[in-house]
Structure 1
Amino acid sequence: MVHLPAFEVEQWMDKYENTPGVLNIAETCCASISIDELVQFNSSQEKNARPLIDFSTRLTYGAIRGSEELRRNIAATYNEDEDTTPPLSPEDVIVTQGAISANHLVFYSLVGPGDHVICVFPTYQQLYSVPESLGAEVSLWKLTPENAYIPDVAELESMIKSNTKMIVINNPNNPTGATIPKPILEKIIAIARQHDIIVFSDEVYRPLFHGTEAPPSAISMGYPKVVATSSMSKAWALAGIRIGWVASRDSSIIAAVASARDYTTISVSQLDDVVARYALSPAVRPRLLARNVGLARTNLQLLERFVSEHAATCSWVRPNAGTICLVRFSKGGKNGAPVDDEAFCRDVLDKTKVMFLPASRCFGHGKTDAFDGFVRIGYVNETEVLRQALEKLHAYIVEHLQ
């Protein structure tokens, strides 16, 4: 029997996000939109020419790997990178049930006993727990706030073994909101090419770049043995349609993922497919992304002001992409001891209804004490939700931490 440890992030969310009256700033998606709202982003003069969903369509399994139009629109999100040569094609993309399914399929298809995997840390727990469960040896490539959570390439070179099969990166990173700059990404790809190692890049927060750094996708760097995953959930504000994908220029990787997918998913919902292809269409995609980037920038200013006003208690590395960040809370002044972040999160929720995640439990997993006192905050929700949450958190800090 395969042993998988508890998925701490998901279990924490499942346990607390439906608390009555909760102000959820643990959420990692851009504030979700409805179908009615989605159609308002269509810039075409013919947006009312036909309905989004044709109710006369018979609901068969549909296209097994995802509709041609959806896969073409997904490919277009990568082809907007200046570095993407030649363009990614629909044949390089397989549609899945969310990024969580895409990630699992990549590992299930490509990694097994005897393989060595290097994975950035901290990151989404699935990215190291699943390969471990499949019998691979996993080495954690640790990111530090002192280096702005940017990976140390020299350390990567020292970690490579004769059986290293895969390097796993997460760009933009969960939970830090940091990006891997293009020069560092180029070095990672060069090392992988030298040793013939697969690069797996979880890019679920791409292209939600709201800082000065907007690195290209790893798939755009000219190395065929790159596989990237993403979804409609985070940057596109449509988590409810459960659409994700796997993309790679390596036909053998796509074939392996497609073969494994036969055991898990015949096809995705036709209804989900049509909503995703509409959202990523040339007439809708730019305005939808602009809405979400604008929301991220507006809300990040609120959070940045809060952290600055509470500098004696809070510290962080300001995120430049995605929807989340890590904030460290201490008690008794700037140089005070870090709070017990798990107890802190529970007490804040109990007293204020403000919800966020304890980093030591959800991202440290006993592997390090580097996240003691840190919480992960999701700030790209409705602006008023964030505003209310920060007001209540301010009152809590004044009463309990100062």
Structure 2
Amino acid sequence: MRIPDFKLERYFAKWEFNAPHLLCTSDIEGWRMSEVLGLADGDGRERWERLTLGYTESTGLPALREEIARLYRGVGPEQVLTFSGAEEAVFVLMNVLLGPGDHAVVTWPGYQSLYEVARATGAEVTLLKLREEDGWALDVEAVKRELRPNTKLVVANFPHNPTGALPDAASWKALFALTEERGIHVLADEVYRLLEHDPRDTLPAGVELSGRGLSLGVMSKAFGLAGLRVGWLASRDAALLERCAAYKDYTTICNAAPSEVLSLIALRAKERVLARSREILARNLAVLDDFFARRADTFRWVRPRAGSVAFPKLLKPLPVAEFCQRLVDTEGVLLLPGDVYDFPGNHFRLGLGRTNMPDALARLERFCDTLEK
């Protein structure tokens, strides 16, 4: 397999552990180990204390799969397959489902692996452009126009990275009705699900809406546990999950035992874990509302409806990549230019899931003041 460099990951490889102030990360502030263990019930604590560092079950710790299944309506643990992060799940699914002669439709801008891994299988990929002027909304009619007789997969990432967009319920259900009718699988990249800024906006999961729907989840985003590297696919297509499990034998084989137990502990305490994430987001959103209101001459944004990222636009006559470079050089604040997504329009990704976001934002504002002198 030959595949282009992952631009976003190469960008973070250069800056993530060198820039003092990260204002573009997509995850929620990470939990400390002691804090996670403090959430453990009796069974979770015992599992941790008695843990043996050997191989684990390739499909995932049974108790963990049971807990993941509880995130969805009508899904059993046998319909969940765990992976070493969501990235592995994407890689495995694309290689199992797609190949030369196949076609996929993928929302864009988006996480590069969602379309480059598909292309690397030999499949043809159509990028479905989301538009700022439409509020980054999902256009089901646009999806329909791109479908072909050989379309095997639609990838829909909502809540969306990097815009924070969320479809209305009618459009979301219409997408699954359309693909079900045509026998097309949908990979619902839902790694930001449960981070809706208004809980009433929470959409049904993809696995709940269609027998061909696959829900992609991970501990990294909503749960603030990126270091565990635990992700999953939930699907009612037993044959497809079985093929994915067999392919996983050639990648990681199984998850790390400590990560599985820590994930189990966190999921059993998910209401407390999610409450912490939502509190951080609500606090930071209020700060951002004030910032963008005051800086309307410099930036424009579509306020995110869910998740821990936004995709504002720089309005100054300065290329966004140059703006981001000068910002990190002078203030040590890292933003992610939209060029990393090969997306036009002078946009950049801004992260709102870290507790020190207000400090980084203050440094961004100080930098903006220098542009006006």
Give the TM-score taking structure 1 as reference length: 0.89
Q: Where do residues 11-22 of structure 1 align in structure 2 (5 Å cutoff)?
A: 11-19=10-18, 22=20
Where does residue 379 of structure 1 map in the other structure?
352
Return the alpha-carbon distance in structure 2 between the equivalents of residues 58 and 12 of structure 1. Answer: 37
Per the TM alignment, residue 57 of structure 1 is displaced from its structure 2 partner at its CA by 3.3
Per the TM alignment, residue 176 of structure 1 is displaced from its structure 2 partner at its CA by 0.4
Per the TM alignment, residue 58 of structure 1 is displaced from its structure 2 partner at its CA by 2.8
Return the alpha-carbon distance in structure 2 between the equivalents of residues 135 and 125 of structure 1. Answer: 16
Q: What are the ranges of 5 or more consecutive residues in structure 1 without an aligned counterpart?
A: 80-86, 332-336
Q: Where do residues 329-368 of structure 1 align in structure 2 (5 Å cutoff)?
A: 329-331=314-316, 337=317, 339-359=318-338, 361-364=339-342
Aligned AA (2:146): M
CA contact (8 A) 1:330 1:401 kept: no
Where does residue 390 of structure 1 map in the other structure?
361
1:58 aligns with 2:52: yes
Per the TM alignment, residue 179 of structure 1 is displaced from its structure 2 partner at its CA by 1.1
Where does residue 35 of structure 2 map in the other structure?
37
Per the TM alignment, residue 180 of structure 1 is displaced from its structure 2 partner at its CA by 2.0
Q: Where do residues 167-246 of structure 1 align in structure 2 (5 Å cutoff)?
A: 167-211=154-198, 213-221=201-209, 223-246=210-233
Q: Aligned with 2:56: secondary structure?
A: coil
Return the alpha-carbon distance in structure 2 between the equivalents of residues 35 and 129 of structure 1. Answer: 34
Return the alpha-carbon distance in structure 2 between the equivalents of residues 192 and 305 of structure 1. Answer: 41
Deviations 1:14-66 (A, max 9, x none): 1011225x111121110001121124446xxxx46873653443322122211
Per the TM alignment, residue 230 of structure 1 is displaced from its structure 2 partner at its CA by 1.2
Return the alpha-carbon distance in structure 1 between the equivalents of residues 51 and 125 of structure 2. Answer: 46
CA contact (8 A) 2:44 2:261 kept: no
Per the TM alignment, residue 3 of structure 1 is displaced from its structure 2 partner at its CA by 2.2
Per the TM alignment, residue 67 of structure 1 is displaced from its structure 2 partner at its CA by 1.0
Per the TM alignment, residue 159 of structure 1 is displaced from its structure 2 partner at its CA by 0.9
Q: Where do residues 123-142 of structure 1 align in structure 2 (5 Å cutoff)?
A: 123-142=110-129
Q: Aligned with 1:151: secondary structure?
A: coil
Return the alpha-carbon distance in structure 2 between the equivalents of residues 275 and 139 of structure 1. Answer: 38
Return the alpha-carbon distance in structure 1 between the equivalents of residues 46 and 130 of structure 2. Answer: 43
Q: Where do residues 75-154 of structure 1 align in structure 2 (5 Å cutoff)?
A: 75-79=69-73, 87-154=74-141
Aligned AA (2:324): C
Return the alpha-carbon distance in structure 2 between the equivalents of residues 354 and 266 of structure 1. Answer: 38
Aligned AA (2:183): D
Where does residue 22 of structure 2 map in the other structure?
24
Would you say how many aligned residue pairs link Structure 1 and Structure 2? 372
Aligned AA (1:185): W
Aligned AA (1:29): D
Where does residue 275 of structure 1 map in the other structure?
262
Deviations 1:250-273 (A, max 9, x none): 111111111111111221111111
Return the alpha-carbon distance in structure 2 between the equivalents of residues 321 and 72 of structure 1. Answer: 26
Identity among equivalent positions (%) equals: 31
* Structure 2 residue corresponding to 1:266, chosen from 245, 248, 253: 253
Per the TM alignment, residue 169 of structure 1 is displaced from its structure 2 partner at its CA by 0.4
Return the alpha-carbon distance in structure 2 between the equivalents of residues 50 and 114 of structure 1. Answer: 47
Where does residue 312 of structure 1 map in the other structure?
297
Instruction: Give the root-mean-square deviation of aligned CA atoms.
Output: 1.5
1:248 aligns with 2:227: no
Return the alpha-carbon distance in structure 2 between the equivalents of residues 69 and 56 of structure 1. Answer: 15
Per the TM alignment, residue 4 of structure 1 is displaced from its structure 2 partner at its CA by 1.1
More helix by share: 2
Deviations 1:59-107 (A, max 9, x none): 221222111110010011113xxxxxxx100000011000011111110
CA contact (8 A) 1:52 1:275 kept: no
Per the TM alignment, residue 401 of structure 1 is displaced from its structure 2 partner at its CA by 4.2
Return the alpha-carbon distance in structure 1 between the equivalents of residues 127 and 165 of structure 2. Answer: 17
Aligned AA (1:78): Y
CA contact (8 A) 2:109 2:129 kept: yes
Aligned AA (2:237): D
Aligned AA (1:4): I
Aligned AA (1:256): R
